[in-house]
Homo-oligomer: A and B are copies of this chain.
């Protein structure tokens, strides 16, 4: 007994139906709603086979069948192989980007909003995680008499900043001079390298212990954080509309996971070389998401950095729709960040 054409068609019908209704689907439903010229009895036999093959689960003996993770896997693989994820949703996505937005974070936030409202699932958007960003410019901006803002521009175009304390003898011009020196010395180096270079520079400059200490700390912190600069989340409340989350405890643990952004980022960021990644149920590796699926795609910036966008939904997710929207969104973001 193998997986023939007909079995696959039936399986597909079951998945389609289940995605829409979230109700175990019976043989009669298939034979009537999806006219495949077969009686319910025949479908029944096939379904029995499909169950034996591991594609269907039966919640109770007298309930309909429910697609297993394996079934979704097959379904999605098929979807991806067929390649043609039509992007009729392109217009919708594009329309949302009309407003000019400048900063990456704004775009990211907005993208998450759009993504969740288009899909009705939860959306997560990560800024590119530069594995080792190289410093391009460093500048100190006086904030008060005793503190300055450090702005670092890296080659990934991402700006990091923090306020550090400085001795109160430093006026704007001095700070600028220091900025120039530091930029000259550090440009092209990674943050990691900068940490070890700093002491050498310090000796050649009039001592600004405090400033350099602050800088060093900041570098280390930034270099150490593998976490992408920003995590935007949208539509967490969408999950509550799905019956699979009518169990409060489940909903709570899901939401609580969404609140710990770094954990979430780590989960989403597991993205390979592929254009799309689809992780179904247990494949997510996160117990709280045992019956969620995560679909991610990437976008890239002019610096070749990769960012990730993802959608989290129930395993009976509208995969084809989600893939299509993610694809379009990814393109849009790449365009937006790529043309600088």
Contact = CB atoms under 8 A, between A and B. Distances in A.
Given A153-B141, A157-B144, A252 B240 contact: yes
Nearest to A253: B237
A241 interface: yes
A191 to B, nearest CB: 16
A340 interface: yes
25 contacts: A102-B162, A102-B163, A102-B164, A102-B218, A103-B163, A137-B172, A139-B139, A139-B141, A141-B153, A146-B340, A147-B340, A151-B161, A159-B161, A159-B163, A172-B183, A176-B176, A236-B236, A236-B255, A237-B256, A237-B259, A240-B251, A240-B252, A240-B255, A241-B252, A255-B255
A151 B141 contact: yes
A133 interface: no
Most buried by B among A141, A143, A163: A141
Contacts of A340: 144, 146-147
Interface string A230-244: 000011110011000
A148 to B, nearest CB: 10
Interface in A284-311: none
Nearest to A164: B102
Given A172-B137, A172-B183, A237-B255, A149 B143 contact: no
Contacts of A161: 103, 151, 159, 161
A142 B151 contact: no
A149 B153 contact: yes
Interface string A117-145: 00000000000000000001101011110
A248 interface: yes
A246 interface: yes
